[in-house]
């Protein structure tokens, strides 16, 4: 029985090879005839397959997987535990033509109705769409969307990606990044969800849950402690079990509990001496045994380093090739080195995930992407994610009735907005698939979006390359808006957190020329701001996505009241972070590089995360270091007050308080709840334990009650290998940021 991809491949070959001069219309008729003929020929087989025991939808995913497992040959089992390559990764595989042009794919078992797994990198939108001549929506970057602190936005984010995956012929996302921001210069910070495990885990879990609701396999990555890109294939992340469980792994634990992802992607780095993809502690002891994760573990691309060790540790699927999980695995099974039961467990987990996510019962049906719907979703998420960092003299929102001229300066603002690079990069429309380390600006001109808001006023543009010209333009304008960017990408780390090039000098010169200067930052992580005291306003817009320009204009002119808050601390300088410089790998010989290419390399250097529990704001609090902007910070065009705190203990602790909009505009406040633990816990001064968004009209008050998960008040006892809530006094704190917590109340817990 031919799979639909085999049929499509045959159709393409007939159109492109057998009939090179055939018209598009004739090719379509031929395709229809071909499909009709094959469908008629396969009708009896499909009818028989429909009666197969594992096609009974009343059975659980586990029961259906067990039934299929009994039907598989050894070769079919092996085909399910490895990839078939990806475009540009090594020599093409024999089955490469059956792929969908994405990051990779796993063969299906057509005779049993088991579909191919077609994978796409989809961190902030479906990648490789240009390979298929298709379009993808670029959503705001993950760390940007995390600034919304909004589970509903996270759900909309995932649902959109899930729909566009299926429309383009994919049924698995490789997004779902949740590595904490231990190292803010990490080139992939923009792909993740910030520095706090409760915030990050909650948001990624809701994304995955709604992604998988579209009948695609969800993924959470990079498991774990993959906190820098420098030497990622050879770095050993050295960290205590307690620190890992209360920080990086807690984010994964929360995300998995909420999202129930089909897959977990293990990371490139080693953890305490063993590579993550062959690390029994993280893959089996914690993930599969303690957390009862029922899905499968796949390696990051080229992250598999062994056959027997990786299999025993809990790696279920090698990507994107079959260096260790192809013939080598089969021979190990035949020799008895790997038990058949161990192979069966890998296969069963993969099959179970396919049934769980609905891949078997809901085959892919290609369709046209809802472009306008995607634009609307991307814009709304960006509007709730923009963070207003400074607003001196209430320069914002801009007053349409008094402004006569605006200078728009810098960073391609006449054309578009920058996006993050690497495997997360969404193909921009009309450009084709970008090169790996290519700077990509998505169309959507901030200059035009601003001009549309205030048609009578002249909007003049300067690229900012000539600083004197830009300053002169600012001097003759009522308002100067400077767009700046900091580009980051997979495969690299930043040397520092400064805006690159002459952008700091540009901002300073423009601000000297015009005190009403507003800076709009597109960045993938924190930036330092030596010019902060000179400017009137600052917006952090992150990588804003397909309709970022419209979202920014809506916030600048007050059509949207900003509500975003920082999901990560902005330090004063790199000297204040736990590791003043990013630890670099040592220089290597050519022989070592040759070994590395085989995948058998060993860690060659270590990063010791001696700060342990002190990630992000917990580090700055404990070290009493001042920061540029604290975690959870964000301004609004209105003001909020907090009152009336009440805390209850027992088995289900909760906190109740009232939030009031004390200003003159409707807005949404993100209320944050932190806890300090008893001194015996030896914990950071405080930790986030709950949060919510509260929409309020001017003068309106709302009483809020938030339940607090007892685990968020507990510590991980490394000796006993369990979570413990220590008896003693706990202080609950409520407010608008980690540095502004006007309500406090202590409570004793047992």
Per-residue model confidence as pLDDT tens digits over 314-345: 999 999 999 999 999 999 999 999 999 999 99
Determine whether 429 is exposed, middle or buried from the number of CB atoms within 10 Å of its CB (0-12, 13-18, 19+).
Answer: middle
Mean local confidence (pLDDT), 347-359: 98
Mean local confidence (pLDDT), 617-623: 98
What is residue 589's predicted lDDT score, i.e. its pLDDT? 59
What is residue 8's predicted lDDT score, i.e. its pLDDT? 33
Domains 4-356 and 638-749 in one fold: no
Residues designated as active site: 300
Cα–Cα distance measured from residue 569 to residue 571, given in angstroms and rounded to the nearest whole number = 6
What is residue 34's predicted lDDT score, i.e. its pLDDT? 35
Residue 399 pLDDT level (bands cut at 50, 70, 90): very high
Domain residue spans in the chain?
Answer: 4-356, 379-574, 638-749
Per-residue model confidence as pLDDT tens digits over 191-208: 999 999 999 999 999 999
- For the chain, the distance separating the N- and C-terminal CA atoms, rounded to the nearest angstrom, is 62
- CATH says 4-356 is which class? alpha beta
Spell out the residues 6+ positions from residue 458 whose beta carbon is closer than 8 angstroms to its own. 404, 405, 406
DSSP alpha helices (H): ranges in 247-293? Answer: 248-259, 280
Nearest to 563 by CA among 481, 486, 664, 671: 671
**Phi, psi at 480, each rounded to 5°:** -120, 125
Count Cα neighbours of 314 within 13 Å in the Cβ-side half-sphere: 25
Mean local confidence (pLDDT), 27-36: 35
Name the E strands within 179-280: 219-223, 235-238, 263-266, 270-271, 274-275
Mean local confidence (pLDDT), 260-267: 98
How far from the centroid of its chain's Cα atoms is residue 113's Cα?
32
Domain 379-574 part of CATH 3.40.50.1700:
yes
Residue 73 pLDDT level (bands cut at 50, 70, 90): very high
What is residue 323's predicted lDDT score, i.e. its pLDDT? 95
Fold classification of 638-749 (topology level): Immunoglobulin-like (2.60.40)
pLDDT at position 474 over 60: yes
What is residue 180's predicted lDDT score, i.e. its pLDDT? 98
Mean local confidence (pLDDT), 71-86: 97
DSSP alpha helices (H): ranges in 454-502? Answer: 467-475
pLDDT at position 606 over 70: yes
What is residue 18's predicted lDDT score, i.e. its pLDDT? 29
Per-residue model confidence as pLDDT tens digits over 484-511: 999 999 999 999 999 999 999 999 999 9
What is residue 38's predicted lDDT score, i.e. its pLDDT? 38
Mean local confidence (pLDDT), 462-481: 98
Mean local confidence (pLDDT), 515-539: 98
What is residue 21's predicted lDDT score, i.e. its pLDDT? 26
**Phi, psi at 146, each rounded to 5°:** -65, -25
What is residue 595's predicted lDDT score, i.e. its pLDDT? 53
What is residue 24's predicted lDDT score, i.e. its pLDDT? 31
447 sits in which H/E element: helix 446-453
């Amino acid at each position: 029985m031919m799979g639909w991809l085999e049929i499509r491949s045959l159709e393409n070959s007939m159109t492109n090879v057998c009939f090179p001069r055939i018209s598009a219309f004739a090719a379509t008729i031929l395709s229809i005839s071909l499909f009709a003929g094959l469908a008629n020929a396969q009708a009896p087989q499909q009818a028989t397959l429909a009666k197969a025991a594992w096609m009974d939808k009343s059975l659980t995913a586990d029961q259906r997987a067990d039934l299929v497992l009994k039907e598989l040959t050894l070769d079919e089992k092996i085909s399910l535990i490895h990839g078939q390559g990806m475009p540009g990764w090594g020599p093409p595989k024999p089955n490469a033509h059956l792929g969908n042009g994405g990051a990779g794919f796993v063969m299906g078992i057509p005779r049993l109705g088991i579909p191919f797994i077609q994978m796409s990198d989809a961190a902030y939108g479906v990648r490789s769409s240009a390979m298929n001549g298709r379009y993808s929506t670029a959503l705001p970057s993950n760390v940007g969307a995390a600034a919304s602190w909004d589970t509903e936005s996270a759900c909309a984010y995932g649902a959109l990606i899930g729909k566009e995956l299926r429309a383009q012929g994919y049924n698995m996302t490789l997004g779902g990044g949740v590595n904490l921001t231990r190292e803010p210069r990490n080139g992939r910070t923009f792909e993740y969800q910030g520095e706090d495990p409760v915030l990050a885990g909650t948001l990624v879990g809701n994304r995955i849950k709604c992604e998988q609701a579209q009948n695609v396999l969800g993924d959470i990555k990079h498991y774990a402690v993959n906190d820098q890109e420098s030497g990622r294939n050879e770095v050993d992340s050295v960290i205590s079990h307690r620190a890992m469980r209360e920080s990086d792994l807690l984010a994964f634990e929360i995300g998995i509990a909420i999202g129930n992802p089909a897959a977990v992607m293990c990371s490139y780095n080693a953890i305490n001496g063993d590579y993550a993809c062959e690390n029994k502690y993280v893959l089996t002891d914690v993930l599969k045994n303690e957390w009862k994760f029922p899905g499968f573990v796949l390696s990051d691309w080229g992250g598999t380093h062994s056959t027997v060790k990786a299999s025993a540790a809990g790696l279920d699927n090698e990507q994107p090739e079959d260096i260790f999980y192809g013939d080598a695995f089969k021979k190990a099974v035949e020799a008895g080195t790997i038990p058949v039961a161990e192979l069966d467990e890998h296969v069963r987990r993969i099959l179970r995930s396919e049934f769980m996510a609905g891949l078997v019962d809901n085959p892919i049906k290609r369709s046209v992407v809802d472009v306008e719907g995607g634009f609307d979703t991307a814009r709304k998420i960006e509007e709730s994610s923009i963070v207003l960092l400074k607003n001196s003299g209430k320069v914002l929102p801009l007053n349409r009735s008094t402004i006569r001229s605006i200078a728009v300066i810098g960073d391609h603002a006449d054309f578009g907005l920058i996006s993050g690079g690497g495997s997360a990069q969404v193909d921009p429309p009309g450009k084709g698939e970008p090169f790996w380390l290519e700077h990509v600006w998505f169309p959507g001109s901030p200059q035009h979006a601003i001009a549309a808001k205030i048609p009578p006023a002249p909007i003049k543009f300067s690229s900012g390359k000539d600083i004197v010209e830009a300053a002169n333009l600012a001097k003759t304008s009522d308002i100067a808006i400077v767009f700046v960017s900091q580009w980051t990408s997979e495969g690299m780390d930043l040397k520092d957190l400064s805006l690159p090039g002459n952008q700091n000098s540009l901002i300073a010169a423009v601000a000297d020329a015009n005190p009403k200067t507003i800076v709009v930052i597109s960045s993938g992580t924190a930036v330092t701001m030596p010019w902060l005291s000179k400017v009137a306003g600052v917006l952090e817009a992150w990588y804003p996505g397909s309709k970022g320009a419209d979202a920014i204009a809506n916030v600048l002119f007050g059509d949207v009241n900003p509500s975003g808050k920082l999901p990560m601390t902005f330090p004063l300088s790199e000297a204040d972070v736990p590791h003043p410089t990013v630890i670099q790998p040592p220089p290597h010989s050519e022989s070592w590089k040759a070994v590395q290419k085989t995948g058998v390399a060993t860690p060659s250097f270590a990063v010791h995360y001696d700060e342990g529990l002190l990630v992000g704001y917990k580090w700055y609090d404990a070290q009493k270091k001042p920061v540029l902007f604290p975690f959870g910070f964000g301004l609004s065009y209105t003001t909020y007050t907090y009152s009336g705190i009440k805390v209850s203990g027992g088995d289900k602790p909760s906190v109740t308080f009232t939030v009031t909009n004390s200003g003159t505009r409707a807005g949404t406040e993100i209320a944050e709840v932190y806890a300090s633990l008893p001194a015996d816990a030896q914990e950071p001064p405080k930790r986030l334990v709950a949060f919510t968004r509260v929409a309020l009209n001017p003068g309106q008050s709302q009483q809020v009650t938030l339940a607090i998960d007892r685990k968020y008040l507990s510590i991980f006892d490394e000796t006993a290998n369990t979570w413990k809530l220590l008896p003693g006094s706990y202080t609950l704190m409520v407010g608008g940021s980690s540095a502004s917590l006007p309500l406090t109340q202590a409570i004793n817990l047992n």
